[in-house]
Chain A
Amino acid sequence: MADAPRPTASPGFMYAASRVFELSIGEMLWSRRTVFMGLVVGFPVLAAIVLRLLSSLGVAPITINNHGVDGPVIFGLMIWIFFVRISVPVLGVFYGTSLIADEVEDKTITYLFSRPIPRGAVLVGKYLAYLACTVFVILPAVVIVWLLMIPMGGSLGASFIDLTKDLAVLALGLAVYGAVFALAGAALKRPLLSGLVFVLGWEQIAMILPGYLRQLTVAHYLQGLVPHAMPSNTPLSLIQGVFREVPTLAESLISLGLIMAVSLWLAARTVTRKEYVLEQ
């Protein structure tokens, strides 16, 4: 009598997550969201090229109180305005909330959940794909902006350490915001709206209020790590600057690490336990 085929063991969590990662990164990179990401990240690069051209023509690209501003200062402003305040939270919202919500909306989540893999691995794999997708777009853009802007009155060597800090801060920001909004995407019905309210509403208000409310934001810890002077280009920024309390390096890193780990764990737990009802 022939032996009956032995049932294959279900793959481990990390193997399953890596398979989902491979599957998802292609979908994410060649999606409509990538066009949006290209615009968000391409604008600072374009701005840097224009500023550099103006500088090479002998025109001071940015003047404050009638004197030209050096490249390193402009680079610091660009890191704050374009990347820390816009690109990182906005990409975190758009990609993070869509990790599970898109599958539910497209009614394809059934196919993923019917596979013999832990449901949490689906979320973790998709989260890693988001991280790779955004980090591999944002960081090269920052490096290009740095190479274009710093030689305008600055030294690449002197600003190198700050560049490495910038890259680390942006990667950390993408990881934390992504984890927070992955949780929102897994738990909430309209995660994109909630995410935008969090980033553009709650974080902005909490950061200008005196007291401890700002400790309930990601921006408070992330902005404390940025090595450049905070710009005061808008009334909101000015007020933020006045009430700004910079957490220590250890406080920022521990808080961001905790927010990321707890959010990701809760998101994986939610995906595992929640019954997703697909609308007909």
Chain B
Amino acid sequence: MTRGIRYFLTGSALVVFLGLGTGLIAYYNGGLPIGPRAANGDLTFVPADATAVAFADVRAIMASDFRQKLRQVLPTGEELTKFRDELGVDIERDIDTVTAAYLGGQSAPESGVVIVRGRFNTAQIETLATQHGAVAEDYKGMRLLSMATGDTTSTETHHAVATVAFLNAGSLALGEASAVKKAIDANASGDDVRKNAEMMNLINDVTSTGNAWVVGRFDAMTNQAGLPAEIVSHLPPVNLFAASVHVNGGLNGMVRAEARDDKAAEQLRDVVRGALAAGKLMTGQNPKMDAMLNSLQITGTGKTVGLTFALPSELLELLNGVAAAHQLGTGTTIHK
């Protein structure tokens, strides 16, 4: 083998190893600092046994063209203005990210915690909360504001305690007192979701794919939700799921499910294919709907079933047109 060939082979191998090395480092560091705002800091407040985790880069979504078009369709609520005046929080400008975790359990309020990152006037929030009967306390060095709320179910009256916790500068946790305390415990002990390899694999897969995502264990969620056996028997045999959307001019997204086995995955693919075919038949000659349905792509091999989609901005304009026509019919004005 001549020296030239040796140089060529060595050079080629070097390029491949450098690329793989870069990728490997990025993989173990949770991605190089490229791409959208990450949820890593807030994940320290998500307990390791969380069944599902969701994240939204609210600031990016609010600044997107999609949101601007959506504003023309949706009316601006008085509640938002009231929220801003009383709490000093403008949802469109003051909130950066929202991370939510589903912790499991039979009662909905006790099973979730939401961590909001942004710029908050903590004094104004605390004053308003105490005026409405909230009780302030300290828990592991963090300020908690708790207020009992009546939650009447069909069998018993359960008093949930709605809690706001000031986690650190620019972070709030919202949820039922026990869930919020569990989140603070996870952060203090280090036993957070980052220790859950299965969940982190899913999170690492979706963080770069969109500015809002949700991942979770489908089987655990259905088991914990206490659904009737008839409904459970008709649910797809899926272990894990992940979904993400990237909101910009339109909406790009993907949904991915890990089925129990290859056969279940193939059945699920057949169901999705059937649904797509039915959708194409029903949309008829509508070119915009047709474009959206054509953007749906079934992906994945083995146990993985995926579906990618794109909602074009024209579809929003179409909805806007429908809304405008509706508003004209009812004699009200539309926001522009």
Contacts and interface: CB of A to CB of B under 8 A. Distances in A.
Contacts, number: 139
A155 B26 contact: yes
Interface in B1-48: 1-2, 4-5, 8-9, 11-13, 15-16, 18-20, 22-24, 26-32, 34-35
A228 B23 CA distance: 17
Nearest to B36: A153
A29 interface: yes
A38 B249 CA distance: 38
B301 A232 contact: no
A130 to B, nearest CB: 14
A67 B313 contact: yes
A interface residue count range (under 10 / 10 to 19 / 20 to 34 / 35 or more): 35 or more
A246 interface: yes
Given A65-B314, A67-B313, A155-B32, A140 B207 contact: no
Interface in A192-225: 224-225
Interface residues of B, number: 53
A158 B23 CA distance: 9
Interface stretch (B49-57, B231-239, B304-312): B304-312
Nearest to B28: A157
A65 B252 CA distance: 11
A4 interface: no
Contact of A67 (B1, B34, B209, B312): B312
Interface stretch (A110-118, A159-167, A172-180, A264-272): A159-167
B295 interface: yes
B12 A26 contact: no
Contacts of B269: 246
Interface of A: 22, 25-26, 29-30, 64-68, 70, 72-73, 132, 136-137, 139-140, 143-144, 146-147, 151, 153-161, 163-164, 167, 224-225, 227-230, 232, 241, 246, 248-249, 252
Given A132-B9, A144-B15, 13 more contacts: A25-B5, A26-B1, A29-B8, A67-B250, A140-B11, A140-B15, A146-B19, A156-B27, A160-B26, A160-B27, A163-B20, A229-B308, A246-B301
